[in-house]
Amino acid sequence: MGARVHGPVTQRELLASIGIEKRAQGLKAGSPDRAQEIDAALARLTAEEETGMGQMFKAIALSDPRLQSLPGFEA
């Protein structure tokens, strides 16, 4: 049907490219009492081990063929 396919990329790559670490820092600054919880969630979402969420899950996007790139799928 003419759609442009972007990806797949790992969840870690996608989240890193759209700024998950900066977002986590902002959340910790606003809720310092939850810093450990935020760090644990970040580690879980971006884990590089073979069974880690950051490696195990992949993302793919479809777009209009005129779009050259999408945030998180630039590589």
For the chain, give every domain's residue range. Answer: 4-63
**Sign of the torsion formed by the C-alpha atoms of 22, 59, 53 and 48:** negative
Closest-CA residue to 60 (of 5, 12, 2, 20): 5
pLDDT tens-digit profile of 4-63? Answer: 999 999 999 999 999 999 999 999 999 999 999 999 999 999 999 999 999 999 999 999
* Three-class secondary structure of residue 62 per DSSP: strand
Indicate yes or no: pTM above 0.85.
yes
